[in-house]
Amino acid sequence: MDQIKQHHRRIAAGLQIQVNQVAATAQLLTDGGTVPFISRYRKEMTGSLDETQVAAVRDQLGALAEIDKRRRTILDLLAARDILTDELKAGLQRADDLATLEDLYLPYRQKRKTRAMMAREKGLEPLAEAIFSGRDQNLNVSHFVDSQKGVGSEEDALAGARDIMAEWVSEDPQLRARLRRLFADRSIVHSTVVKKNQEAGVKFRDYFSWQEEAGKAPGHRLLAMFRGESEKVLRLVIRPDEEQALAVLRNRYPGKGKLQRQVAAAVSDSYKRLLAPSLEKELRAGLKEKADEEAIQVFAENLRELLLAPALGRKRVLALDPGFRTGAKLVCLNEQGNLLDFTTIYPTHGGKKEQEAAERVKELCRRHRIQAIGIGNGTAGRETEDFVRGLELDGVVVTLVNESGASIYSASEVARREFPDHDITVRGAVSIGRRLQDPLAELVKLDPKSIGVGQYQHDVNQARLKKGLDDVVVSCVNSVGVEVNSASRELLIHVSGLGPVLAENIIKYRDEHGPFSSRKELLKVPRLGAKAFEQCAGFLRIHGAENPLDDSAVHPERYQTVKQMAAELGCSVSDLMKRRQLREKIKLEKYVSATLGLPTLQDILAELAKPGRDPRLEFTAFAFAGGVNTMADLVAEMNVPGIVTNVTRFGAFVDIGVHQDGLVHISQLADRFVKDPAEVVKAGQQVMVRVLEVDQQRKRIALSLRKS
């Protein structure tokens, strides 16, 4: 119990929140609460912690649990070998990080055969002890010479003693802690090119001769260098100045006695052979972890913006997946995204083919009362867009749609399950159309890594990347809310408290019994018990339900409070939701109780004003500059519209419709200093950029958002 309280205090200090907030959140998580549910519906218990804070408490509790697990393992191993002293046990119990735990355990760890072990087998440990302690005035090294043991001379004996002393030095926890701080604070990244691979690794040429402080190196630069090293183009060394490090060792082990020089030699050997490689490996892991977290955070921020991109909504859509040689696959979808029609047209083939394509598009638009046309932004996208706009279809919105990952979806099990009788070309076009209608509902069907908004996604820790991106998907799905009667399995899976099994069961129940008429009916779904209902109900919507609250984010556990509000005003709940004058008469303080506080009451009042409100921005159609289809069409100082596709720590990439994204460097994002590009731009944002430079050979476009 004391250790749990200690963990809570540590987390609270790190996140700058109260200990009781951590304790309450920890209990809610233990009881099966999800991050969206806790942050939305348990504000009174957590002190209104937001999703990010709740997730941080969860993650830190998990990390501390891993440390505790390792501590128990070490204690059990030492106890089993009967070498666990009270002093060692106390030290292990006090250790609050993995590095300290491993330092304390290091001398007792069962190792492969080391040089020190072999020296001990030759009977040289007493010699090492005498030299190390300085009690060597009457020491006769020749007494340790024994050819039968492999000690043929005094120098052999001294060499073995040095090996033992070097190991002692390397296993000193206090020394390792001091050196670890030195490595963290003073290490320099030295990057040099591997000459034989220089030509093949030209993309890493910025790092062929590079050095900077490791602690200040941006994560994206470290990941680039690590990748260059893994591809055998770069050679990296990440260490502090050697003399500075050796000074720390010599201060700790100055040596004394007539064989003091042997101690000095052992100290130097210990650093170069044992400590430096070990601590550099540890530092690299730490730097990599930090760089990974930064890359994952950037990826997550970009993914959030794409998932929460404005939705066209329930409109009848014609979608085109363009292509030059094979033509454009065309599909028509109704308001619910169901496939109505499909065909192939050839709008870029000219002559009769183009004329036939024009007639076909116009005819399908009339037949299916099409309201919007979405065109994939890949190969032949701009040319197909020009063709469609040339048709001058009155009242029909025409826009390009980011098709990243559509081909992956079309070949997936999800797509095969949805369209078993259609090939991948039809599925891909359907995905483009549905992305226009509702990006979130369609993108949840993809592995987030295939959406193409991250950097170095294959280099970072894959488990952490998946967890981070899954958190974003869950957050977005639950913040928007899900219509239970039309949601796909993939959308339902991400609803708080559900998952694959319950999502399947909801769809089976829906198929067998028809649409849900109320949230309460969810309790009839097999295996969806009271706990799952508590977690999911507030995030599921039922359009047209008898109880209007079923189409809102008000949780069923608070329905009675809303009914009480309406009754005391002499009106219905529906009236309360429709009439602002009635809501203004509500005195929230009157409804405060031991379990219901002002934060939740304020949320309820806001929800009554805009029930089931969509947090996403309103949809606006986008068009690239006419006549600008390739890099050859670009000239310096040209102003062109674009869409931000990826935000990184060093700038933002923008699609300007020439099949090659341009880079707005961080220095060109604004007429002021910008520390973080995410402060200025978001993935999916429509911008007007100025062309600075076009490098046709390297396929690079430099852009600017600055006015001057």
Give the model confidence (pLDDT) of 259-279 as tens digits.
899 999 999 999 999 999 999
d(CA 495, CA 485): 14
Q: How would residue 706 be classed by pLDDT, with cut points 50, 70 and 90?
A: very high
Q: Are residues 425 and 560 in the same domain?
A: no
Same domain for 579 and 661, yes or no, is: no
Q: How far is CA 186 from the centre of its chain?
A: 29
CATH number of the domain bearing residue 661: 2.40.50.140
β partners of residue 19: none
Q: How far apart (Å, rounded) are the C-alpha atoms in residues 148 and 66?
A: 48
99 with 149, same domain? no
The separation between the first and the last C-alpha atoms of the chain, rounded to the nearest angstrom, is 61
Q: Is residue 446 part of a domain?
A: no
CATH number for 236: 1.10.3500.10
Bridge partner list, 211: 190
Position 448 in a domain: no
> How many domains does one find in the chain?
5
Reported as a pLDDT band with limits 50, 70 and 90, residue 595 is confident
700: helix, strand or coil: strand
Average pLDDT estimate for 395-416: 89
Answer positive or negative: Cα dihedral of 362, 368, 373, 376.
negative
pLDDT at 75 over 80: yes
Q: What is the CATH number of the domain that holds 353?
A: 3.30.420.140
Same domain, 530 and 639: no
Domain stops at, among 437, 461, 483: 437
Question: What mean pLDDT is predicted for residues 473-480?
Answer: 94
**From the CB of residue 698, how many other CB atoms can be counted at a distance below 10 Å?**
8
Question: Do 70 and 127 belong to one domain?
Answer: no
CATH number of the domain residue 592 falls in: 1.10.150.310
Q: What is the pLDDT of residues 98-120, one digit of tens each?
A: 999 999 999 998 888 999 999 99
Residues across the chain: 708
* Domain edge (last residue) among 609, 642, 665: 609
Whether 1 has a pLDDT exceeding 70, the answer reads no
Q: Is 280 found in the same domain as 176?
A: yes
- 207 vs 190: CA distance, rounded Å: 9
CATH of the domain at 44: 1.10.10.650
What mean pLDDT do residues 163-187 have?
96
Q: Which domain holds residue 226?
A: 115-299
pLDDT (tens digit per residue) in 18-39: 999 999 999 999 999 999 999 9
Per-residue model confidence as pLDDT tens digits over 601-644: 999 999 999 887 888 888 888 888 888 888 999 999 999 999 99
| Among candidate residues 108, 136, 170, the one where a domain is terminated | 108
Residues 6+ apart with CB under 8 A from 696: 631, 632
Average pLDDT, the chain: 92
In a domain, 623, yes or no: no
Lookup: tokens for 211: 């050095």
Same domain, 75 and 124: no
d(CA 423, CA 603): 46
Q: Kindly compute the dihedral angle of the four CA atoms of residues 357, 362, 367, 372, in this order, to the nearest 10 degrees.
A: 100
Question: What are the backbone angles phi and psi of residue 123, rounded to the nearest 5°?
Answer: 75, 25
Question: For the residues 662-675, what does the mean pLDDT come to?
Answer: 93
- pLDDT tens digits, residue range 419-432? 999 989 999 999 99
pLDDT at 256: 85
Does residue 307 form part of some domain? no
Rounded to an integer, what distance in angstroms lies between the CA atom of residue 187 and that of residue 317? 57
Q: Which residues contact 509 (CB under 8 A, 6 or more apart)?
A: 524, 525, 526
Token digits of residue 103: 């330092």
Stretch 78-97: mean pLDDT: 91
| Residue 255 sits in the same domain as residue 330 | no
Predicted local distance difference test score (pLDDT) of residue 342: 95
Both 234 and 277 in one domain: the answer is yes
pTM confidence score: 0.85
pLDDT at res. 55? 95
Model pLDDT, residue 707: 87
Write out pLDDT tens, residues 196-248: 998 888 889 999 999 999 999 999 999 999 999 999 999 999 999 999 999 99
Co-location of 295 and 331 in the same domain: no
Residue 504 lies in a domain: yes
pLDDT-above-70 percentage for the chain: 99
Give pLDDT, residue 322: 94
Q: Is residue 308 domain-resident?
A: no
Q: Among 130-139, 423-432, 490-499, 572-581, where is mean pLDDT lowest? A: 130-139
Residue 479 domain flag? no
3-state SS, one letter per residue, for 494-526: CCCCCCHHHHHHHHHHHHHHCCCCCHHHHHHCC
- 145 and 273 in a single domain? The answer is yes
Residue 456: burial class (beta carbons within 10 Å; 0-12, 13-18, 19+): buried
- 251 and 321, same domain (yes or no): no
**H or E, element range at 281:** helix 276-307
In a domain, 268, yes or no: yes
Residue pLDDT, tens place only, 275-325: 999 999 999 999 999 999 999 998 999 899 989 999 999 999 999 999 999
Q: What whole-number distance in Å separates Cα of residue 343 and Cα of residue 497? A: 41
Answer for the pair 34, 42: CB distance below 8 angstroms, yes or no. no
Q: 306 is written with which tokens?
A: 């794409």
Pairing verdict, β 662-665 and 651-655? antiparallel
